[in-house]
Amino acid sequence: MMIMKKIYLIMMLFFFSSFTPLKEDDLKHEFEKEYREANAWLKQHQQLIQSKAGMHGIPPRMLMAIVFPELIRYNAVYDFMETTALSILYVQSGARYADFSIGHFQMKPSFAEMVEQDAEKLLDPATLKMLNLQWGVVDDEVQRRARINRLESIDGQMDYLVAFYRIMEQRTRSMKFNSDEEKLRYYATCYNCGYRKGAEEINRAMKQKSFYTGKFMTSPTYNYADISLDWYAR
C-alpha cells in the first residue's frame, strides 16, 4: 500500500469581497486551448446539464460555473492513468489510502462520501429519490465500487454536483447573499476547498490563490472562484 501511495504522490477577499474580472489576456495566455475544449464539452453535454439542473430548479449556468475551473485543467490521459492505478486500492481500503480526483469535475471519493452522508441528513426524500442518492453510508467494498462507478459517469457526477448545491443551500440558510455572484464565489470556494470547513477557513480561502494551472502543480496561479466568476460573467 505504501508503494501505491508513493505512486499516487509522484503521479500527480475577505468574505463577500467584490469581484474583479480576470484580465482577458491572462486567460487567453494561460487557458486558450483548455477554455475552448471546456466550452465544447459543455455544449456537447448541454442537454444533460439543463435536464439535471431543471429538475431541481437550479440555474444550469451556476452549476457549471462552480466546476468550470476543473473542466479547464482536466486531462483525460492523466485522469485515466490515475483512476486506473488507484481505483482498486480505494475499493479495497477506502479513501484513507487512495483519495484521487476523477472525471471532468475532478471529484474525489471522499467528496462523494461526504455528499452522500450529508444528503441523507439534509435533503428531503423526494430529492434523494430524484437524484438516486439513497445509497446508504456503509463503508464496504460493494459501496466503494459502486461509488467509483458513479464518479466515472457524467450522469453520476451531475447527481453529486446537484446534491452538493442543494446541501450548500441548506448550510447557508442563515446567510444573506447580495447577488448571484456572491453566492457563486462562496459555493465555488467551498467546492474547491471543502464545504465542511469552518467559516473562517472558507473566508480565508476565498481570497487565496489555490488554482494550479501546471500539470505537476508547482504553484497556484489564480483564485479558484475568480475563474468561476469570470466564466459566469461571459
Q: Write the DSSP string, 25-58.
A: HHHHHHHHHHHHHHHHHHHHTHHHHHHHHHHTT-
Per the CB < 8 A criterion, the answer to whether 91 and 141 are in contact is: yes
pLDDT at 30 (0 to 100) = 72
pLDDT at 195 (0 to 100) = 96
The predicted model scores a pTM of 0.83
pLDDT at 7 (0 to 100) = 35
**26-30, 56-60, 135-139, 177-181 — which is least confidently predicted?**
26-30
pLDDT at 95 (0 to 100) = 87
Q: Which residue has the higher pLDDT, 124 or 16?
A: 124
Name 107's bridge partners.
Answer: 102
pLDDT at 202 (0 to 100) = 94
Mean pLDDT of 95-110: 91
DSSP state letter for 198: -
pLDDT at 59 (0 to 100) = 96
pLDDT at 14 (0 to 100) = 33
pLDDT digits (tens, 9 = 90+) for 164-177: 999 999 999 999 99
* Cα dihedral 124, 163, 17, 178 in deg (nearest 10): -40
Q: Write the DSSP string, the chain.
A: -HHHHHHHHHH--TTTPPP-PPPHHHHHHHHHHHHHHHHHHHHHTHHHHHHHHHHTT--HHHHHHHHHHHHHH--HHHHHHHHHHHHHHHHHH-TTT----BTTTTB-HHHHHHHHHHHHHHS-HHHHHHHT-------SHHHHHHHHHHHTSHHHHHHHHHHHHHHHHHHTTT---SSHHHHHHHHHHHHHH-TTS-HHHHHHHTTS--EE-STT--SEEE-HHHHHHHHHH-
**In the structure, what pLDDT confidence band is assigned to residue 76 with cuts at 50, 70 and 90?**
low
Residue 85 has pLDDT above 80, yes or no: no
Per the CB < 8 A criterion, the answer to whether 200 and 189 are in contact is: no
**Angle subtended at Cα 147 by Cα 4 and Cα 217, rounded to the nearest 5 degrees:** 45
Give the closest residue to 101 by CA, choosing from 63, 124, 71, 136.
71
pLDDT at 33 (0 to 100) = 85
**Entry field: residues in the chain:** 234
Residue 84 has pLDDT above 90, yes or no: no
Mean pLDDT of 131-156: 84
